[in-house]
Amino acid sequence: MIAVIDYDAGNVASVTKAIEKVGYKACLTKDPKIIKASSGVVLPGVGAFGDCIDKLRKYDLIDTILESIESKKPFLGICVGFQLLFEEGFEFGIHKGFGIFKGSCVKFIPSKTYKVPHMGWNTVYYTRQCNLFDGIKNNSYFYFVHSYYTDSDDSCVAKTDYSCTFTSASQKDNVFGVQFHPEKSQTLGLRIYKNFCNMCEEKC
C-alpha cells in the first residue's frame, strides 16, 4: 500500500486515483501508523511553501516524514511536496524545508513572454538516469503549475526551461521529487506512478 499524505494540500484525490489506476493500493492518510506500515510514501503539495510546512507541523507529520525517508522506502514529493524536500523556500517569508536536496526555492520573475505561474505542458530533459522515468522518452511533455522553482544541481535528474533552466526532477537514494504533476500528465504521468509503485513493491 502506498501512503498519500493528507494535509489539506489541494487536489490530492487525483494522486490516489492515479496510483489506483496503475494497479496499486493507495491510502490517503495523516495517520503515522499507516504511513509507517506503507511500502512507499507520496507527499503531494499545492499552495504555498510555508503554509504546507505549517500544516504538516499542525498534523504532527514532520517526524513521520523524516522517519519514512530514513527507513529507505521509496518517497515521492510532488510540486510543492518536491520543493519542501529542499533546504528552504521563500514563498511569503523564509521557511525551512526538509533539507534532503541541497538548495532553495525562489520565485520566477514575471514578464510578458514568461507569465507566472508557469502553467501548462512543458518538456522535461534528463541530466542523469533515474528509474522514475523508465520507459519515458527524453524531452516528453508534463503538466506544470508553479510560481517558485529551484535550479539546484544537487541530486538533479531532469531539467526544464522556462525563462531560466530549473530542476524538474531530483533523486537522492530512495527520495524522488518532481516539480510537475504526474497525476495531471495523462499517460506519461501514469507511467511515473507505475515506475514509482514498482519500486515500492520491490522494497516490500
Partner 1 sequence: MLAKRIIPCLDVKEGRVVKGINFVNLKDAGDPVEQAIIYDSQSADELVFLDITASYEKRSIMIDVVSACAQNIFMPLTVGGGIRTIQDIRNLLKAGADKVSINSAAVRNPDFLNEAVKVFGSQCIVVAIDAKKIGNDFYVFIDGGRVNTNKKVIDWLIEVQERGAGEILLTSMDKDGTKEGYDLELTKLVCENSTIPVIASGGAGKMEHIKQVFEIGADAALAASIFHFGEVSIQETKKYLLQNNINVRI
Residues marked as catalytic: 79, 181, 183
Q: Give me the DSSP letters along 59-115.
A: TT-HHHHHHHHHTT--EEEETHHHHTTSSEE-TTS-EE---SSSSEEEEPPP-SSS-
Size of the site for partner 1 (CB under 8 A): 36
**Footprint (CB under 8 A) of partner 1, residues 2-21:** 10-11, 13-14, 17-18, 21
Alpha-carbon distance of 50 to 94, in angstroms, equals 8
What is the bridge-based pairing of β-strands 40-43 and 2-5? parallel
Alpha-carbon distance of 34 to 117, in angstroms, equals 34
Q: Which stretch binds partner 1 (CB under 8 A): 23-31, 33-41, 99-107, 139-147?
A: 139-147
The answer to the question of residue 99 lying near partner 1 (CB under 8 A) is no
CB-based contact 91:50 (threshold 8 Å): yes
The answer to the question of residue 27 lying near partner 1 (CB under 8 A) is no
Among 37, 62, 66, 119, binds partner 1 (CB under 8 A): 119
Q: Which stretch binds partner 1 (CB under 8 A): 42-50, 63-71, 99-107, 164-172?
A: 42-50
Q: Which amino acid is at 94?
A: I
3-state secondary structure of 36: helix
The answer to the question of residue 184 lying near partner 1 (CB under 8 A) is yes
The answer to the question of residue 151 lying near partner 1 (CB under 8 A) is no
Among 121, 165, 173, 203, binds partner 1 (CB under 8 A): 121
The answer to the question of residue 194 lying near partner 1 (CB under 8 A) is no
Residue 2: how many other CB atoms lie within 10 Å: 24
- Shortest approach of partner 1 to residue 73 CB, angstroms? 25
Total residues belonging to the chain: 204
Site residues (CB under 8 A) for partner 1? 10-11, 13-14, 17-18, 21, 46-48, 110-112, 115-123, 141, 143, 145-147, 161-162, 181, 183-186, 189-190
